Structure 1
Amino acid sequence: MKDFALDERLANDSVSVVMTGLCDVRLMKDSRWPWLLLVPRRPDKSEIFELTPLDQILLTFETEKVASALKTLTGATKINVGALGNIVRQLHVHVIARFEGDANWPGPIWGHGKAEPYSDEDMNSFIAKLRDTLSQ
């Protein structure tokens, strides 16, 4: 994991929640959706298939764990998982809790409106709940 550097845009748009075996799990700074990123701490990777087979398994396991925790914590209607990387090339996986009637339901979240930041209190509370749920 040496030589790994988080893309500046990901660093600016999110905050770290927890480090797993492979990923930096990060909360996006947009309160419209409970939205997490898993960023594998491997340098110079932009595609899942570029990871070693073991890292691919770890990413799948960690994505499932984060998605399950987010569903449990939020009671979301649907959990969306995607690895797009069209703008930010660094490999990262989005895990987003969606609810009927949320901003732009049932359409995609990308490019919809302007981010609505969390209050410090709400962000810290949500991160604490995420950490607790992920540790179970």
Structure 2
Amino acid sequence: MSNFQLHQQLAQDCFKVGSFSLSELLMMNDSQYPWFILVPRRANVKEIYQLSAQDRQTLQNESCLLAETLADLYRPDKLNIAAIGNLVPQLHLHHVVRYQTDIAWPAPVWGKFAKLPYAGDQPEQRISQLRTALANELHDGF
């Protein structure tokens, strides 16, 4: 765990939200979708199967907790959860809230449109809302 470093691309593209017991929680700087990312704090891990059995279970639990919370907060038409990693090899799970009215629907969001960064205090508002909803499970970021 001490060798963990967040991939530079994730650090550049995201805001830090907080930490679960295993994973860092990030928010993608793209205001077109509520888009959050879990990154397990394990060095040199690219795939879920490379985690220990205990870490795999913890990641699954964190992902489900995040998904349930996002569903409660945003009432999506669909929640896309994916571990793609073609451009960023560090294991990370995307959780993207989708609506039939969003710009990319029904296609995947990956590389479909240029990101539209948040403006003003929008990111702080969204992050604060999620931190409040996850207050019992989330602690300050890394």
TM category, shorter? over 0.9
In the alignment, the residues of structure 1 paired with residue 51 and residue 122 of structure 2 have an alpha-carbon distance, to the nearest angstrom, of: 35
In the alignment, the residues of structure 1 paired with residue 105 and residue 73 of structure 2 have an alpha-carbon distance, to the nearest angstrom, of: 20
Q: Deviation at 1:120?
A: 3.2
Which residue is 1:56 aligned to?
A: 56
Alignment of 1:1-136 (within 5 A): 1-135=1-135
Taking structure 2 as the reference length, the TM-score comes to: 0.93
In the alignment, the residues of structure 1 paired with residue 122 and residue 48 of structure 2 have an alpha-carbon distance, to the nearest angstrom, of: 32
Greater than 3 Å deviation, 4+ residue runs: none
In the alignment, the residues of structure 2 paired with residue 81 and residue 113 of structure 1 have an alpha-carbon distance, to the nearest angstrom, of: 18
Gapped regions of structure 1 (runs ≥ 5): none
Taking structure 1 as the reference length, the TM-score comes to: 0.97
Q: In percent, how many aligned pairs have the same letter?
A: 37
Matched position secondary structure for 2:79: strand
Listed one character per residue, the Cα deviations across residues 3-41 of structure 1 (whole Å, up to 9, x for unaligned) are: 100100000000110100000000000000000000000
Listed one character per residue, the Cα deviations across residues 33-66 of structure 1 (whole Å, up to 9, x for unaligned) are: 0000000000000000000000000000000011
**Highest RCO, 1 vs 2 (Cα 8 Å, sep ≥ 6):** 2
In the alignment, the residues of structure 1 paired with residue 63 and residue 43 of structure 2 have an alpha-carbon distance, to the nearest angstrom, of: 19
Q: How many residues align?
A: 136
